[in-house]
A and B are shown apart, each in its own frame.
Chain A
Amino acid sequence: MLPENSKINEMARLKKLQKIDPPRNIRLKFRKVGSLQYTSHLDLQRTFNRVIVRACIPVWYTKGFNPHIKLVFSTPLSVGAQSECEYLDIKIDREMSCGEIMERLNHELTEELCITDVYYPIDDFSEIGYAEYDMKIHTVGNSEKMAEDIKKILITSPLMLTKRTKAGDKEIDIIPLIKSIDVRYSSDEDTVNINTVLRASATEFLNPEMLVTALKNSLGILSTDLSKEWYEIVRKEIFKEDMAVFR
């Protein structure tokens, strides 16, 4: 399976195999949690470049003066958010099974950043419509009441927030961008747990951090004692416009 002696020899061996033309698209589904939530998109890109080389994946390089690996990521994930379902498309130009690609990559990764599925892409990234998130909020004085307060804020339109765009700041109502929301208090960790599906298409995208911003603004939580209050955001699933699971 994995090259035992020399990866350089392995790459040379792969190069001698029959070339696939045009190169084949491969979709990697990966997890990005824990420490990796602080890794930015650009840093992640650089990391995958190296991981792919270390793993001896027969990846296709762009032609031209400065050949590089073509990496196409799906929906952006903001720094500070975790995810169970990130997607990355690569191209290979030599035969290798999806199972082997996954095994090779995971050999070069850690628990906090690892591949959970490898397959030939079915859907196009442009078909993505929604993303589901689990959010946990721990505040001082958490209770059933807090859960109710939070829910009320997140379902009452209009909820105006400033959205930063390339064209400048813009005031928008975020409620229409929330497809569904469920808020409960959990005594296990003394947290308010939110499960929500947010708009995530190329033209309409709601960053889950905006929900936190709304709560900070309205309830004054998560802004005073950072050592006692915390929150986490985990992206759970990506859906198409018709709410079928994205593949």
Chain B
Amino acid sequence: MNKEISSILKSVSKPGRYSGGEYGQIIKDKNSVKARFAFCFPDTYEIGMSNLGMRILYGVLNEQEDVWCERVYTPWVDMQEKMKEYDLPLTACESGDELREFDMIGFTLQYEMSYTNVLNMLELAKLPLRSSERDDSMPIVIGGGPCAYNPEPVADFFDLFNIGEGEEMLPELCRLYIQMKEEGRYTKEAYLHEAARTITGIYVPSLYDVSYNDDGTIKAYAPKYDDIPTKVTKRIMTDMDRSYFPSKVVMPYIETVHDRIMLEVFRGCIRGCRFCQAGIIYRPVREKSPEVLNDQAKCLFESTGYDEISLTSLSISDYTELEALTEQLLEWTDDNKVSLSLPSLRVDSFTKELMDKIASVRSSSLTFAPEAGTQRLRDVINKNVREEDLMRAVGVAFAAGKNTVKLYFMNGLPTETYEDIKGIATLAEHVIDAYYKCPERNRSQKPQVTISVSCFIPKPFTPFQWEAQDSMETLAEKQEFLRTQITDRKIRYTYHDARVSRVEAVLARGDRRLAAALELACREGFKFDAWDECFDYDRWISVFERCGIDPAFYANRAFGLDEVLPWDIIDCGVTKEFLRRERDKAYAENTTPHCREKCSGCGANKLGGEKTCCPKIAK
């Protein structure tokens, strides 16, 4: 570490974020590799280091001998002030080299509110924000992750996007880059065209023209060449058992958000809750076999020494071989003082047996997500959970000595009435009642139920993608109404800031015209908008106004069912017809069975996949 930066590190909070030198980091000789990749997570070190996708892709890229992938995170506000004062550029963790020296810079787009950090990082790297302003000598800027499914609001800043899973796509992009450089035919333009033409899942926004109707909606997307796809199909790893999974990880010295082994059990979700984007874009469901998972877990335990394994997947209790897996794991985890944790539990599958296996969960609290307060609304959103299921689940938890339960809900869901909101309070009261009815309860403690209510945000590629978000005034009224409905002091009530949700809705359903606003926001120093202490709604509105953008057009307008959507350029496997059918069923208050019960023909099976529950279709 150079001494010049040491004084600066001594003057900022949490210097361990920037010092590097972690056990397990990958160091290569920069002069002998052929491509250098800076993998950027546009948030703090503690959050980025916890991301499983980044752990996987860091490993995948570094498997390539001639590619060196390094990590980059967003420096916190105090560090950025120092960097500005002393004119220090943004650097990568491993080498300490500045980003301009890299061949490729990849950003993972995990949430819309991190967009300002992406631009902020490009600015700190002293690179032009817009793709069109970066020449052949500058790094290729790549975007990926869940928000890339509607890449349009940030399309002007990226050279290309990875749509879908990156385990194969990223190495292919590197190979193409190295090949074109070696053959002396590399220009940025030629590279982008070649990538779009030959690699499935690559979207190069500059190769598509967008035209608009008079009413501001999109008229059409037109590819500039006829040898590139008219719709970019997402990429998946078909066989998860054979898909790369890291056998070691970089070990942070400072505490991170998920400081444990994360074992990805399967991709996708069989459920199809109608507000949930993840439940659609990661389809089809592909499971790993318990033997493979057990080997991967052992391997990671031995290389990390972590004392906790988190089984991570969208709805973990839907894993068909959960019992076999936990049994295999428990054969060695107990002896080695390793505990298992399950982050996502559905109330209908929460059983005594399951809880005994995760008994080492030290916290006394359990979290469930009924999402809506009445059966009617739960049917609308296809959250196939009944009040009886919740009561049974909390009963199991209380009988085991737990006394606190956290419940997640959403305000502003389509068709929501005040009756539904009142239902949230009623449900919480019923949980309290269940505590006192439980004979085995912990009599020395009082029950506590926390209800945490977020605001519905219509997301691309969901049956609710066309819906209007409630106005902020309506959301505020609903939040206030719910407060008046809660009389029991054993119920704690928290809710999300509707102003953040509104900006998130704009960015989630936006199109390319938002680039001007994001650029202005960056110039005005916006960063860490996912952090309450940094988010400033009035400044966002001012930015939108000055760029001639009406946030209501994106957030509070019901999109036309036949309208060309900004994300229509992407094919996520699930058809628009399926989403339309699901929307109709929502309004009819009809539920849809989950994938294993009955195939609803979402279309994702055209992508293939092993260990899936989808019916095979002829290729």
Which A residues contact B (CB, under 8 angstroms)?
6-8, 11-12, 15, 34-40, 42-44, 46-47, 49-54, 61, 66-67, 79-80, 108-110, 112-113, 138, 222, 225-232
Contact = CB atoms under 8 A, between A and B. Distances in A.
- By Cβ-Cβ distance, the 8 closest A-B pairs, closest first, are A35-B21, A50-B305, A53-B305, A54-B305, A35-B19, A38-B15, A227-B86, A226-B7
Contacts, number: 101
Given A54-B305, A67-B337, A230-B3, 8 more contacts: A35-B20, A35-B253, A38-B16, A40-B16, A50-B306, A80-B10, A229-B7, A232-B3
A40 B82 CA distance: 22
B562 interface: no
B21 A8 contact: no
Nearest to A229: B7
Contacts of B419: none
A40 B253 CA distance: 9
B255 A49 contact: no
Contacts of A227: 4-5, 7-8, 86, 88
Contacts of A44: 253
B305 A51 contact: yes
B7, B8, B88 — most chain A CB neighbours (10 Å): B7
Contact of B302 (A7, A46, A47, A109): A7
9 contacts: A8-B302, A15-B335, A34-B21, A35-B1, A38-B19, A38-B253, A54-B302, A80-B15, A226-B86
A124 B483 CA distance: 58
A8 B298 contact: yes
B303 interface: yes
Contacts of B335: 11-12, 15
Contacts of B302: 6-8, 54
A172 B259 CA distance: 41
Nearest to B3: A230
Contacts of B362: 66
B9 interface: yes
A86 to B, nearest CB: 15
B16 A43 contact: yes
Interface in B1-41: 1, 3-11, 15-16, 18-21, 23
B254 interface: yes
A39 B255 CA distance: 10
Interface in B34-65: none
Nearest to A111: B21
A127 B69 CA distance: 48
A108 B251 CA distance: 11
B539 to A, nearest CB: 30
Contacts of B82: 226
B170 to A, nearest CB: 27
B416 to A, nearest CB: 43
A226 B16 contact: no
Contacts of B584: none
A226 B251 contact: no
A7 to B, nearest CB: 4
Contact of B254 (A6, A39, A49, A52): A39
B1, B88, B253, B335 — most chain A CB neighbours (10 Å): B253
Contacts of B135: none
Contacts of B307: 49-50, 53
A232 B4 CA distance: 11
Contacts of B15: 38, 79-80
Given A80-B10, A226-B7, A229-B7, A34 B305 contact: no
A70 to B, nearest CB: 13
Contacts of A6: 298, 302
Given A54-B302, A108-B23, A61 B337 contact: yes
Contacts of A225: 86
Given A8-B332, A35-B1, A40-B16, A50 B304 contact: yes
Contacts of A226: 7-8, 11, 82, 85-86
A232 B16 contact: no
B305 A36 contact: no
A227 B7 CA distance: 7
Contact of B6 (A46, A109, A110, A232): A232
B254 A43 contact: yes
Given A38-B15, A108-B23, A230 B4 contact: yes
Contacts of A11: 335-336
A109 B23 contact: yes
Interface in B302-323: 302-307
B68 interface: no
A80 B13 CA distance: 12
B301 interface: yes
A112 B4 contact: no
B337 A230 contact: no
A15 B259 CA distance: 27
A45 B298 CA distance: 23
Interface string B269-302: 0000000000000000000000000000010011
Contacts of A37: 19
A230 B6 contact: yes
Interface string B242-256: 000000000101110
A11 B3 CA distance: 42
Nearest to B8: A226
A12 B331 CA distance: 12
